[in-house]
Structure 1
Amino acid sequence: MQPAVDKRISPLEYHPGYEVLDEQVMADEVREESKTRRKENLQQTLRKISETTNRHSAYSTRSVHAKSHGLIYAELEIYDNLPGHLAQGMFATPKKLPMVMRFSTVPGDILNDKLCTPRSLAIKILGVEGERLTGSEEACTQNFLFVNGSSFLSSSVQQFLSNLKLLANTDNTPEFKRFLDQILQATSKLIASLSGGRERLLNNEGQPETNILGETYFSQDPILYGNYMAKVALVPIAPSLIALTNKPIDVSFASDSLKKSVVDFFITHTAEWELRVQLCTDINKMPIEDSSVIWSEDASPYLPVAKITAKPQIAWSPYRSQVVDNGMMFSPWHGIKSHRPLGSVMRLRKITYEMSKHANAMSNGKGIPEPTDLDDLC
C-alpha cells in the first residue's frame, strides 16, 4: 500500500540551462589544456589508489568503496497511484523488480572497522525499461549510489580531485588515519553534547562505530527525475532497522565488525527501506551544480516512491563477494536517460567509473558486463 504523499509540491521542470558546464567558463585554448591535464591527473590518482588496494587484497578491488560489509539480494516495489510529479522515469509504472544492495565504506584502502569513515550504499535494479544512457545501451539496470550524509563536501571538480589525491597520498600512513579519526570522533562528540543530539561532523567525514543498517542514505548529487530534477534517499522503515539507528556495534571484531553486524541481522530478520525523492522547486536555493548545498526539506520534503524488501539470507560470503565485489560495477551512469546524473561532480564520476571499470577488466583479464539476472544471489 502506498503511503500518503503531499501533492502540493510544485517541482521545477528541467532545463539544460541549469547545468553550467565547466567548458562554458573557459576560453577554447585553456579549456582543452585543462581538460587534458585534469584527466591525466585523475588517471594517475586512481591508478595509485588501485595499486595500493590491490597490494592489500587477494584480488582486484575498487579505487574507492573497496571494502564491502553487506551484499544483499532484495526486491524493489514501485508504489501504485503515484501523483504525476512522482510517477516519472522508471517509477511511472507500479511493478516489482529484483535488485542487489552493496554496503561499503568510502576509502579505497581496506581499513580496520575501528577507524571512522563515511558509509556508502550502492544499489543495482534489474529489469528497468527506457532509453539508455550512453555506455549502458545493452543493459537493463538502473544504479543509484548513496552516502550517509546529505551533502557532498566537494562542490567542484577541482576539489573532488584534491580529495582523491589526499586519499592516495595518505594510504600508507595508518598512524595519521588513526590520529585523524580520534580528532574527528572527539569533535563529533563535542558537537553532539552541545546540541543535545547526534550530529554529523562535516557530513560524515567522521563516523562513530554504529550499525550500518540503521543509517539513512542520500544520493547527495542530483539526477534527472523524468521531467524534473531530484535527489534520492533510502530510509529504513522496518522497526528492526529503525532500532539499529545510532546503535553501537561490537568492535572486538575489529577488521570485520560492520560485516558481522550485517550478517547477524539477516540470519533471522527481514529488512524494509523506503526509496524517497526530493524534487527541486527552486534552482537558486537547490542548485544542481553545487553538491555541497543541502536542499531544504521544508521547501521540498523527501516523498516515497518505492519500498525495498530484503528477506533473511547470507548477507556476505566469499562467493557473494566474488559475484558482486569482483563481478559488478556500480556506476550512476548505468541507467536510463530519465535518471541521468546532473552536475559537475557527476560528470567527473562518469570518467572515474569508466576508468575504474577498464582498470578492473585489465586486472581480471575480462570485462565487467551488467548482469541480466541475480540468480547467483537468490
Structure 2
Amino acid sequence: MQQPAHSGTSPLKYHPAYEVLDENRVKRDENLQETLRKISETTYRQSTFTTRSVHGKSHGLIYAEMDIYADLPENLAQGIFKQARKLPLVMRFSTVPGDILKDKACTPRSLAIKIIGVEGERLSGSEEATTQDFLFVNGSSFLSCSVQQFLSNLKSLSSTADSTSEFRQFLSRILQATSKLIESLSGYQAIIKTPDHPAQGSTETHLLGETYFSQDPALYGDFMAKFALVPVAPALIALTNKPIDLTFAADSLRKSVVDFFISHTAEWELRVQLCTDIDQMPIEDASVIWSPDLSPYIPVARITAKPQIAWSPYRSHIVDEGMMFSPWHGIQSHRPLGSVMRLRKMTYELSRKQRSAPEEPKACEPTNLDDLCE
C-alpha cells in the first residue's frame, strides 16, 4: 500500500471569518429558488420520470470499497479519515446536463460517491443517515466565481431551457471548469468542451481515465480542504484521453464503462489538498484554483471496485431513482464551505422536494450495499 507523503506547509485551521456572507442573501436566494424551479420543471417535461436538474444521465453505477490509509499525520487523520478502516461505497458516474442527451454531445463528466457506515455528528437534514457524500467534476475549478454571477448564468439558462441545444450549451458553460485548468494529477491537460462549440480536435473520451476534483472546499476536521480522485490502476491510467467507440451514440459512455468492468478491477486514490493560505486559496471564490505549489494533493485512501455489472436497469432503479447525492449529506467534520456550496444546498433541497412528489419514488439513504450487489 502506498503511504502518503507529509506536507511541508502547515495548514490553516478553519475560522468562521473565512466564510463571508452576502448582506443581500435572502433576496438572492429567493431569486435563485425561482430560477432553479424553472430549470427543474423544464427537465421534468423532457423526461419520462423526474430527473435531477443536473447530472441527469448515469453511465456507471458501481459498488466499491474505500481503504483509509494507516498512520496518517495528525492534519490528515481528520473526520472519517481519523483511523484506518474499510468502508463500502457507491460510485455514480454521470454527465452534467439534466436532460438525457446522446453521448455525442461533449459535456463535463461528474462523479458522486456515497460512503456507507460513517460515524460522527451529522449535518442538518441528514441526521438519520450513516452516509457521507462527495461530489466531483473532471475540472479543478468552478466556472462562476461568485453567487451573483452564478445566479445570472442560471437566469439565462432558465429563460432558454426549452431549447434543447441552448439548454445543453448553457449547462456546460455554467458547470464546466474554467479555461485556466491546471494539469491534472494524472498528467494530462483538461479541455473545456461545450456541446455546440467543442474544443478543436476534441473527441469523446473514456470517463474512467479522468481525474475528478471536488472544485469547492469543505471542512476537513479542524482544517479546510479540496479533494481529488485520481486513477492509479494501470488499466484506468491507460484510458486517459482514450477515444471511445461512438457506434452506440446514445449510450456509448455507459457501454464503455460496462465493458471495462466485465473483467477489470479499478483503483483510484482519494487525495486531499489542505488550505495553507486563505488569500491565495480562498473559500468564497470557487473559481480560484488552489495551487499545488502552495499545498500538494496528498493521498489519504484508496478506492477499489472489482469486476461487476456496472450499469443495469435494476441498478438505475436503486441508485438513480432511489438515492440522492449531495455534499450536504454527511457529517459536520466535512461540512461544505463557501457561497456556491451554500447555494448548492438549496439546489439539492429543491430537487429532493420535487422528486418526493406522491407519484415519484422516494429517495433514501442506504445502510448497506445488499440491494446493489445483485
Corresponding residue to 2:352 among 350, 353, 357: 357
Corresponding residue to 1:45 among 31, 35, 48: 35
- CA change 1:180–1:218 in 2 (3 A) is closer
Q: What is the identity, as a one-letter code, of the residue corresponding to 2:44?
A: N
Three-state SS of the structure 1 residue aligned to 2:106 is: coil
Correspondence for 2:11: 11
Distance across 2 between alignment mates of 1:12 and 1:179: 38
Contact 2:66 2:302 in 1 (8 A): yes
Contact 2:37 2:350 in 1 (8 A): no
Q: What is the identity, as a one-letter code, of the residue corresponding to 1:351?
A: M
Contact 1:229 1:279 in 2 (8 A): yes
Distance across 2 between alignment mates of 1:161 and 1:168: 10
Give the drift of 1:199.
4.6
**Identity over the aligned pairs, expressed in percent?**
70
After superposing the two structures, state which structure 1 stretch, 75-84 or 248-257, moved more.
248-257
Number of residue pairs aligned between Structure 1 and Structure 2? 357
Correspondence for 1:344: 339
Correspondence for 1:251: 246
Give the drift of 1:179.
8.4
Correspondence for 2:267: 272
Give the drift of 1:157.
1.4
Give the drift of 1:38.
2.8
Give the drift of 1:3.
2.2
Q: What is the identity, as a one-letter code, of the residue corresponding to 2:248?
A: F
User: Is 2:343 the counterpart of 1:310?
Assistant: no
TM-score, normalised to structure 1's length?
0.88
Correspondence for 1:107: 97
Distance across 2 between alignment mates of 1:125 and 1:352: 21
Correspondence for 1:236: 231
Q: What is the identity, as a one-letter code, of the residue corresponding to 2:318?
A: V
User: 1:278-317 maps to which residues of 2 (within 5 A)?
Assistant: 278-317=273-312
Distance across 2 between alignment mates of 1:366 and 1:199: 37
Contact 1:109 1:171 in 2 (8 A): no
Correspondence for 1:201: 192
Contact 1:124 1:142 in 2 (8 A): yes
Q: What is the identity, as a one-letter code, of the residue corresponding to 1:134?
A: S
Correspondence for 2:50: 60
Contact 1:60 1:364 in 2 (8 A): no
Three-state SS of the structure 1 residue aligned to 2:336 is: coil
Segments of 5+ residues of structure 2 without an aligned counterpart are 174-178
Correspondence for 1:20: 20
Contact 2:327 2:336 in 1 (8 A): yes
Distance across 1 between alignment mates of 2:169 and 2:194: 19
Contact 1:107 1:167 in 2 (8 A): no
Three-state SS of the structure 2 residue aligned to 1:106 is: strand
Give the drift of 1:175.
4.6
Deviations 1:130-151 (A, max 9, x none): 1111111111000000000000
TM-score, normalised to structure 2's length?
0.89
- CA change 1:62–1:179 in 2 (3 A) is closer
- CA change 1:39–1:363 in 2 (3 A) is farther
Correspondence for 1:151: 141
After superposing the two structures, state which structure 1 stretch, 161-170 or 287-296, moved more.
161-170
Give the drift of 1:154.
1.0
After superposing the two structures, state which structure 1 stretch, 220-229 or 43-52, moved more.
43-52
Distance across 1 between alignment mates of 2:326 and 2:170: 29
Distance across 2 between alignment mates of 1:364 and 1:312: 35
Give the drift of 1:48.
2.4
- CA change 1:115–1:229 in 2 (3 A) is same
Segments of 5+ residues of structure 1 without an aligned counterpart are none
Three-state SS of the structure 2 residue aligned to 1:362 is: coil
Contact 2:64 2:88 in 1 (8 A): yes
Deviations 1:128-179 (A, max 9, x none): 1111111111110000000000000112112222333333333333455788
Distance across 2 between alignment mates of 1:124 and 1:179: 29
Q: What is the identity, as a one-letter code, of the residue corresponding to 1:256?
A: D
Contact 1:249 1:258 in 2 (8 A): yes
